[in-house]
Amino acid sequence: MKYLSKYEIAFKGLKEGVHQFEYELDDKFFDMFENSEVKNGSLAAGVVLTKQSTLMIFEFYAKGTVELLCDRCLDVYNQQISCNSKLFVKFGMEDEELSDDVITISRDEFQINVAQYLYEMVILGLPIKRVHPSDKNGNSQCDPEMIAKLGEYLVDSDISEEEPIVDERWNELRKIINNK
């Protein structure tokens, strides 16, 4: 965890106003988080801290590429991502998470580690559907061997236009509804 200490921001000595911090999120960064969806990546990230007397506003941003598994062919591919988020930090009696983007920290604290917030922002910035991007001609870049194998097991889902089979017992109930 000593590696993550470089993501600590000592805010106690900072003057009120805007302060900027730059970080590189690499493979080692993602290795620090257990069961991370991202194992490899290279992102330029930053934090803009707006310090006020009773509140601090952290604006996080990151841009770069991460390595993901394709949902279709299970091959690894590089995904471009760009994401941002905000965190509002209030001072109070004890550390407490009030909502997803508002926390309270003790007045005795003098620094905050932003590594977890940067990590969560990147993970939430990943696309829901993770497939190889198409090439410039619009063709899939998925593994052709795997796509062929999937095609062998594709079930034809033609729905017949036949009349659905109706249970005759429901006809008696329909008579009751129609006699209102």
Is 3 strand, coil or helix? helix
Write the CB contacts of 26 (distance below 8 Å, at least 6 apart in sequence).
41, 42, 43
Give how far Cα 94 sits from Cα of 107, 114, 135, Å.
Answer: 8, 18, 52
Residue spans of alpha helices (H) in 63-167: 115-124, 144-152
Q: Is residue 157 predicted with pLDDT exceeding 80?
A: no
- 18-56 confidence digits (pLDDT tens): 999 999 999 999 999 988 889 899 999 999 999 988 899
Give how far Cα 163 sits from Cα of 33, 85, 157, Å.
Answer: 55, 53, 17
- 65-98 confidence digits (pLDDT tens): 999 999 988 899 999 999 999 999 998 888 888 8
Task: Tell me the C-alpha distance between 59 and 127, whole Å.
Answer: 21
Which of the 8 DSSP states describes residue 88? Answer: E
> What's the pLDDT score for residue 178?
75
Q: What is the mean pLDDT of the chain?
A: 87
Task: Tell me the C-alpha distance between 117 and 88, whole Å.
Answer: 12
> What's the pLDDT score for residue 86?
95
Q: Is residue 159 predicted with pLDDT exceeding 70?
A: no
> What's the pLDDT score for residue 1?
61
Tokens of 141: 């870049």
β-strands 102-106, 96-99 pairing = antiparallel
Q: Is residue 13 predicted with pLDDT exceeding 60?
A: yes
Task: Tell me the C-alpha distance between 10 and 146, whole Å.
Answer: 50
Backbone dihedral region for residue 17 (phi beyond 0: left; psi -120 to 50: alpha; all else: beta): left
Instruction: Identify the band that residue 133 occupies on the pLDDT scale cut at 50, 70 and 90.
Output: confident
